[in-house]
Amino acid sequence: MRNFDEQTITDAVLERVGHAENPRIRQISEAVVRHLHAMVREIRPTQAEWEFAIDFLTRTGKMCDDKRQEFILLSDTLGVSMLVDAINHGSGPGATESTVLGPFYVEGPPELEAGADISPGMEGEPLIVTGTVAAPDGRPLADAIVDVWHSDDDGHYDVQKGGGADAPAMRARFRTDSAGRFHFWTIKPAAYPIPDDGTVGDMLKAQGRHPWRPAHVHFMIEAPGFRKLVTHVFVAGDPYLDSDAVFGVKDSLIREFMPHPAGQAPDGRQVDRGYSHLHYDFGLKPL
């Protein structure tokens, strides 16, 4: 087959990718071709516009390294990450809703004892985080792994300051006790803009959008026999809850970070200045 034109090229490509032996590869390839060709026919790009699109993706790839994943940001800001999450992670009764992983998770965070301070020496309002992990029926899950990470009070993650795996701050791993409980100390996070000095920032500006995310703490929770939960808990009242740049906010994930005066904290610790308290009870969905 040859001499393809606007009317015949799509069927020709579909015929060729239809020879894939793996049915899933065939299904995905055919869908990509159909939708991509349909988009091109709809927008009818000039040659210069198509070259710009290819350059955009090339520049996006070149910005990716072990500290930054621009393609995750692109997926997040186009709502694709949340769409994939919605397809794969329905919460169900008694199970906490999930949301996006985000680009700042670091594998292998340090495992610390309950009550540890994951932001030692850092400026910011003290925050104690308490919580439980349970099955949908309320049965506490002991020895569940609870990974946590968040931004500082200026809206920066440790990896943005040269830390992360080498010098972790505001990130750690905890294990629940026999009653499914965990707690730790840190500083209260702030709202922050996603990195907008690259291709995703260019796209947001062109679309008339802001890059801000509401303040939140990330959680990744695992226990044998249950689905891994990836979620956030957002600060109630944050001005960006209704315009999160990555579409990750859900009402069930918003909580008050309750202010308290100096004194005895919920874990018995004496605090010499005002602090906030976040409590959240997480439910995991069985496999």
The 10 Å CB-count burial string (b at 16+, else e) for 118-151 is bbeeeeebbbbbbbbbbbbeeeebeebbbbbbbb
Q: What is the pLDDT of residues 3-57, one digit of tens each?
A: 899 989 999 999 999 999 999 999 999 999 999 999 999 999 999 999 999 999 9
- Polymer length in residues for the chain: 287
Alpha carbon dihedral 228, 250, 274, 104, in 10-degree steps, equals: 50
Q: Which CATH architecture has domain 75-283?
A: Sandwich (2.60)
Calpha distance 175→144 (Å, rounded): 5
Mean pLDDT value across residues 173-183: 97
Q: Does 163 score more than 70 pLDDT?
A: no
pLDDT band at 162 (very low <50, low <70, confident <90, very high): low
Mean pLDDT value across residues 125-140: 96
Q: Does 243 score more than 80 pLDDT?
A: yes
Residue recorded with tokens 């610790």: 269
Q: What 3-state class would DSSP assign to 203?
A: helix
Backbone phi, then psi, for 49, in 5-degree steps? -65, -40
What are residue 186's DSSP bridge partners?
A: 127
- Our separate counts of H helices and E strands in the chain read 6, 13
- Give me the pLDDT at residue 21, please: 96
- Domain positions in the chain are 9-44, 75-283
